[in-house]
Structure 1
Amino acid sequence: MTDHDQIEAVARAAVLAGGAELRARYRDGDAEAEYGAHDVKAAADVAAESRMLPVVREAFPDHAVFAEEAGEFPGDGPYRWIVDPLDGTNDFAAGLPTFASSVAVLREGSPLVAALHQPATDETYVARSGEGVRYGGDRVTAADARAAAGVGSDVAGATVAVIVGRDVPRDPALAAEVDAIRGALDDRVKRVLDSWAPTVHSGLLARGRLQGLVQFHPDEEEQAVTELLATEAGAAVRREGDLYVAAADEATLDELWEALDEADR
């Protein structure tokens, strides 16, 4: 059987390699990209992936890999790697520091390891099934989210991130549902964030800086990372179809879910 310690080490090495490329390009003001109405394809995506893929492929040549830019690499056995060289491309291209390189490893379809590195702020998260979440080497949880944010038990003081997949804005029906979700949350909580860097905001939830996170039709590149971070940080979670909610505790989750149930969607 493949050593899961080795998988975790390689995942971490891969995101650090991708992050080093992104950090250099970010500091140089690299804005080379193709800009569309709903998305951005940056040269930095391809460059970072070219640093990450060899780390994974050389260590585990028989594992299946999906890379956001290069596509699918078939493999044998139960493991599949998902490589996202630049989560938060829009933010990167705009000069904002909220972006990351991330990797998820699935075993028989279930998330086993997730790693992400935020090069602008030099922050690294590693999550492993059954082993919790480490931030900069220290174990973190979502349990102290309210204390960290300085809010009381009332969900009205919460900050919640909303994550949508790249195809949602292109579909009028799905876009209308998201508008209803945002409106319902905005009536209940202090602040609703539209996330253009899902793994970054997932990390904030995992270490108690956000009180809630809502995913709607998420992209595969971020979904496994986001959900493993939430679960291993001890967040309360609930799913209904393509709607997934994670919160600091069960009481917050219940209130967020109640708001979404009442949304006109």
Structure 2
Amino acid sequence: MTSTALSGRAAVVTGGARGIGLAVAERLLADGARVALWDADAAALEAAVGRLSAGERAVAATVDVTDPASVEAAREAAAAAFGGLDILVNSAGIAGPTVATLDYPLADWRRVVEVNLTGTFLVCQIVAPVLVGRGWGRIVNIASLAGKEGTPNAPAYSASKAGVIAFTKSLAKELAGTGVLANSVAPAALDTDMVKNMNPEHVRIMVSKSPLGRLGTADECAAMVAWLCSPECSFSTGAAFDLSGGRAVY
């Protein structure tokens, strides 16, 4: 599906080298946007840009979302390449190990929270002022159903994604009236590399809880994100949008 809904808009997508981030970048490009893909994996970024075949409409930067200097440099480069920024999608994230809370290594806890939650906060803090300065913008933070329900044996991931949902609500209230809307999306398990690398039994349990009885797809997530990034989304901010195959009831 292609449209011109985002023609003239410029977007940043973190975690853009694969999975949800890459699917979002592909969809935003199809809708007419120019996209800067940020990721920590330089080789995967190069492959992603080649796959997109979007010419100058897609640029890439190797970025550590937990490092302010790295994020600031990438923001300046993207804004210079596109003449400004209008859209931010925070998709960078890691799952961490599948381990019970009582045995969960502190180092893994800190790393998951640092990337998933602090990284989302930091990128918003550094990029959002550019959107506010233009008087129009859309921010979409990728959370997770785990942040609503809490997934057993994934304490850091669950806590970090709950934090993303709450942080997005806080940010949205602060930005209300600036022309910038901020929302989150809370997918259940999607058919991405992150899920493929999880314990198969862990994935089986997640799928068994879905009324639709299957994994979602990155493209389905990207379609929802694309609407949240578009001018058609004009009266939703601070919301956590469900993408759980009927599993979530709130």
Q: TM-score range by the shorter chain?
A: under 0.3
The normalised TM-score by structure 1 is 0.26
Structure with more of its chain in strand, by fraction: 1
Structure with more of its chain in helix, by fraction: 2
Larger radius of gyration: 1
Q: Which structure carries more relative contact order (alpha carbon 8 Å, separation 6+)?
A: 2
The normalised TM-score by structure 2 is 0.28
